[in-house]
Structure 1
Amino acid sequence: MAAVDAEKMTALKQLKSAAERKAKFQEEIFRLTDDLASLKAELKSAHGAILALVSQSPCKTLVGLCPRTKNTTSIVQMPPPLPSPFRRRIGWPPDPQQSRTFVDARVKWVRDRGLDHAVEKEKHLQPFHALKDLLLSSSSSRSLPLDIIAAHRDDLRLPFRAIRFIRLFPSAFLEEFPQQSSAAAPPRPVIRPTPELLRLHDDEQRALAACRAETADRLLRLLMLAPARRLPLRVVDRLRWDLGLPRDYPRTLLPDYPDYFQIVPSSTAAGGGSGVLDLELVCYRKDLAVSAMEQYAMRIGGYKKGMPLAFPLEFSRGFELEKKVRKWLDEWQKLPYISPYEDGAHLAPKSDLAEKWTVGVLHELLHLLVPKKTEKDNLILLGEHLGLPLGFRKVITHHPGIFYVSNKLRTQTVVLREAYRRDLLVEKHPLMGLRFQYIHLMHKGKETGSKHKDRKRKRNASWIIDDCKIKDEEEEGEEEDEEYDDDEEEEDDEDELSAASDVDTEEEESDDQDEHSIRSAGRENNFPRGGASRTVRSRKTMRSSV
């Protein structure tokens, strides 16, 4: 028994000594852990101090910071920053320029009447211009039968029937009925341009010839924005109107600049082997790889590559930014400006710096266009070819002081704000001046025939005086009602303009009805606001008294 007790006592002593050693080891581990934490904290603080020094003087080298060098005047070049995955692994703070700091706030849309009017006043201008080109390029007689024009309705993008569209503009198109050899055959109307339209067309051709070099440079800069230095020809065709290119530019413009462009088969998997063509860049001109923002900064002076550039901001009347959004915007404007002609693939996809590069690409693209605006669908189509990140459409809504999205004309149009003062362009291209003359010609025939009628329609007493004129209006054709509607839309304010466009839309959907039903519906529904029911009653009373 004594031997057993002695063994137990020995085992207990060994267990006790083992527990003491274990406690000492744990204390040592805790001490080493605390030392490691303190060293890590010191390392973070030292790294923060170095980042602060580099941010204060990014172009200078640090002097005397190397502990191995005895000479305090030695110059030590700072190493490049670590990539983002290593920063996250070590626990260092991320690079502020490569991080996303946009606040989670809703940027509301506020209507801009001037920019809406700049979009809305070009209603029907593109189909009008396309119909003009079809007439003048048809034959030496510069005329076409109506049935041929109706067959090209989809190509011309006519909003409704060809005859109705032509009769909307009597000052631009003439409708003639040539003599028929057979009395049984119905007469086929022939459409020809008016002398005023021919004169404007000749002026436009002279302007296109004078701007050929400038037009080629703009198209070249558009290809320089694309990382692949090429764009599908169908994309260029869709932007032809906004770029100010002639309708037959592949035959009249591109062959004159063989050192700029060439048409090649598509290199993409979707377009290869299917006859799809691309417009490829031949010569990259560094002197043209300067954005509009950089040109303006160079004119002011003191600008160097990579310096911060702030985009000009203009907001709609009544628009207010939240305080946190305004603070973020001020910091975002101070970020370095990366040229849109540089590749932004190395930027973090969702960083503030990548967003500023995306805004710069969209800003430069809109600046290359003649009207400084385009449909939002065109930008979406171009996005994948210009290397823009996914979801870049949100960038447009994040910056309402740079871009404005108009909802007029049944589409969304992105407008470059700084290019407009109310509804007028600050710098008007010669082609835009001619387009405004086309718009004036489109409305000219409507104004001359009904100005005195419009003034009398605004007064209720004029309904009795114009009794005979009202009877004459009932016997007139469909074009008289449309002229009356369009003149009322021009004199109303912009709120009434949008409402009138809805009425026109309803009329366009009922094109298949006969002319009598269209005229009766137009008289019952198209009255000035605020007096429709009263005007109908006054007409009925007037006619009954007569």
Structure 2
Amino acid sequence: MALFSNSANSNKHLYHLFHLQHSRTFVDARVKWVRDTYLDLAVEKEKNLQQIISLKNLILSQPSKTIPLSSISLHKTLFKLPTTAINFFQKYPSIFQIFQSSKPFPLPQVKLTSQAVTIHNEESKILNSSHYKKDVAERLAKLLMLTRAKKLPLDIIDLLRFDLGLPHDFILTLLPEFPEYFQICNMGDKNSKGSEMFGVELVSWRENLAMSVLEKKVMEENGGIIPRMPIKFSINLPKGYDLEKKVRIWVHEWQNLPYISPYEDAFFLSPNSDQAEKWTVAVLHELMNLFISKKTEKENLLVLGDYLGFGIRFKKALVHHPGIFYVSNKIRTQTVVLREAYKKDLLVERHLLMGMRYRYLHLMNQMVKSDRRYRIRVNMGNYKMQ
């Protein structure tokens, strides 16, 4: 059901929920965090992948297909490099080559290896395919549909660009191909530097996209009909993890509350009610399903949540529902992972673009020491658009 739908059925449904919403709030109990080794590995094995791909795109955007080492050194913070530029490039000799440019200005330059160029060329075929472009355009459209204003600032979209699978130059390459979906808009605010803020706006509501992954799954399981019974989230607690009894009881009752689609506007609910929390989790769950790796940095979610008007409700939901979301502390940040999307450390359903990213991971790890605690496990078979 669409957010801001004017239909009589939608208004009747929301009115009914307003009068039935529970005032109960989460029980006064501590939900412990327990490390999940497999999901930590799923996060850890992609360490530096985003930096690798960003630098790869930068190098190939140059006319010479090379870039001065000094220019990367000056922008170490921009690329979030964990070490010096030269050390970073030397760590991945299967992807980058440092060489001395010819006279009269013999300066260290960086280029890609032939193996990396080969993968990039195959990746480009995917990125330029009509199937991929439609898939990623729909992901971006659904993200915009989760907002009340149907638009987002470019800087927030850029935070999520890698997770959504958007091309690095999506403003120039993707948006113009879907004028019926998107337009650049002035957000009416100024950024921290005092400049005008621009964003991407959805041209018109896409009713065919206004169904959550969870609703679609339930419909497929019930012959195309959403049953009257409450829609429940998949709970996957790690082996040996046991919730306190009063928390288990609360979760059971919370699961039986009505499911409100993330594409509906339920901000009329009391923010501290259990019904509001189930809707918050529905929004988070849908967001995580928009990301091709079904994970993202926690800070990205919190920034988006603040912009959408959820405040600290995203943070509370992540703490209250460890069986739905896992927060990993690996790779110098906190990463939220959608539990149901993984079997051990591998994605259950693998997007085609993730297949290409795993090929970059294979190159990255050719020089990894053999005595690492975990062996990098990469499954290269049968990738598809989701």
Aligned residue number for residue 83 of structure 2: 160
**Equivalent position amino acid for 1:350 in 2:** N
Matched, 1:433 2:355: yes
Matched, 1:261 2:185: no
Matched, 1:150 2:31: no
Distance 1:255 1:306, change over 3 A: farther
Q: Which runs of 5+ in 2 are unaligned?
A: 1-14, 376-386
Which of structures 1 and 2 has the larger relative contact order (alpha carbons within 8 angstroms, sep 6+)? 2
**Equivalent of residue 111 in structure 1, options 7, 20, 35:** 35
Distance in structure 1 (CA, Å) of the matches to 2:42 and 2:202: 33
Give CA deviations for 1:338-366 in whole Å, capped at 9, x if unaligned: 00000011212111110000000000000
**Equivalent of residue 136 in structure 1, options 44, 50, 60:** 60
Distance in structure 2 (CA, Å) of the matches to 1:230 and 1:306: 32
Alpha-carbon distance, 1:188 to partner: 1.7
Distance in structure 2 (CA, Å) of the matches to 1:168 and 1:269: 40
**Equivalent of residue 492 in structure 1, options 360, 369, 373:** 373
Distance in structure 2 (CA, Å) of the matches to 1:297 and 1:399: 21
Distance in structure 2 (CA, Å) of the matches to 1:294 and 1:395: 20
Matched, 1:176 2:99: yes
Q: Secondary structure at the match of 2:331?
A: coil
Alpha-carbon distance, 1:207 to partner: 1.1
Aligned residue number for residue 533 of structure 1: none
Distance in structure 2 (CA, Å) of the matches to 1:195 and 1:81: 62
Distance in structure 2 (CA, Å) of the matches to 1:170 and 1:369: 29
Distance 1:389 1:351, change over 3 A: farther
Alpha-carbon distance, 1:389 to partner: 4.8
Matched, 1:419 2:300: no
Distance 1:351 1:167, change over 3 A: same
Aligned residue number for residue 240 of structure 1: 161
Alpha-carbon distance, 1:379 to partner: 0.6
Q: Is the 8 A contact 2:215 2:226 kept in 1?
A: no
Aligned residue number for residue 200 of structure 2: 279
Distance 1:119 1:162, change over 3 A: same
Alpha-carbon distance, 1:82 to partner: 12
Q: Is the 8 A contact 1:227 1:387 kept in 2?
A: no
Q: Which runs of 5+ in 1 are unaligned?
A: 1-79, 85-94, 447-485, 495-546
Distance in structure 2 (CA, Å) of the matches to 1:384 and 1:391: 9
Q: Is the 8 A contact 1:125 1:439 kept in 2?
A: yes
Distance 1:83 1:260, change over 3 A: closer
Q: Secondary structure at the match of 2:327?
A: strand
**Equivalent position amino acid for 1:118 in 2:** A
Alpha-carbon distance, 1:493 to partner: 4.1
Alpha-carbon distance, 1:155 to partner: 2.6
**Equivalent of residue 125 in structure 1, options 22, 38, 49:** 49
**Equivalent of residue 111 in structure 2, options 192, 196, 204:** 192
Q: Secondary structure at the match of 2:252?
A: helix
Distance in structure 1 (CA, Å) of the matches to 2:222 and 2:193: 47
**Equivalent of residue 328 in structure 1, options 250, 257, 271:** 250
Alpha-carbon distance, 1:83 to partner: 8.1
Q: Secondary structure at the match of 1:327?
A: helix
Distance in structure 2 (CA, Å) of the matches to 1:137 and 1:177: 20
Distance 1:287 1:127, change over 3 A: same
Scaled by the length of structure 2, what TM-score is found? 0.88
**Equivalent position amino acid for 1:166 in 2:** F
Q: Is the 8 A contact 1:266 1:272 kept in 2?
A: no
Distance in structure 1 (CA, Å) of the matches to 2:173 and 2:348: 30
Give CA deviations for 1:380-412 in whole Å, capped at 9, x if unaligned: 111123332544311111001000000011211
Aligned residue number for residue 347 of structure 1: 269
Alpha-carbon distance, 1:145 to partner: 2.3
Distance 1:378 1:82, change over 3 A: closer
**Equivalent position amino acid for 1:278 in 2:** G
Matched, 1:216 2:137: yes
Distance in structure 2 (CA, Å) of the matches to 1:154 and 1:174: 21
Matched, 1:370 2:252: no
Aligned residue number for residue 527 of structure 1: none
Aligned residue number for residue 205 of structure 1: 124
Q: Which entry has the higher C-alpha Rg, 1 or 2? A: 1
**Equivalent of residue 24 in structure 2, options 87, 100, 112:** 100
Distance in structure 2 (CA, Å) of the matches to 1:293 and 1:323: 27
Q: Is the 8 A contact 1:366 1:372 kept in 2?
A: yes
Q: Is the 8 A contact 2:165 2:291 kept in 1?
A: yes
Where is the helix percentage greater, Structure 1 or Structure 2? 1
Aligned residue number for residue 384 of structure 1: 306
Distance in structure 2 (CA, Å) of the matches to 1:179 and 1:81: 74
Distance 1:306 1:287, change over 3 A: farther
Q: Is the 8 A contact 1:110 1:318 kept in 2?
A: no
Alpha-carbon distance, 1:307 to partner: 4.6
Alpha-carbon distance, 1:81 to partner: 8.0
**Equivalent of residue 227 in structure 1, options 148, 151, 173:** 148
Q: Secondary structure at the match of 1:348?
A: coil
Aligned residue number for residue 282 of structure 2: 360
**Equivalent position amino acid for 1:173 in 2:** F
Alpha-carbon distance, 1:272 to partner: 12
Aligned length: 358
**Equivalent position amino acid for 1:355 in 2:** E
Scaled by the length of structure 1, what TM-score is found? 0.63
Give CA deviations for 1:5-48 in whole Å, capped at 9, x if unaligned: xxxxxxxxxxxxxxxxxxxxxxxxxxxxxxxxxxxxxxxxxxxx
Distance in structure 1 (CA, Å) of the matches to 2:110 and 2:189: 43
**Equivalent position amino acid for 1:342 in 2:** E
Q: Is the 8 A contact 1:339 1:360 kept in 2?
A: yes
Q: Is the 8 A contact 1:98 1:347 kept in 2?
A: no
Distance in structure 2 (CA, Å) of the matches to 1:195 and 1:305: 54
Q: Is the 8 A contact 2:324 2:339 kept in 1?
A: yes
CA RMSD between the two structures: 2.2
Where is the strand percentage greater, Structure 1 or Structure 2? 2
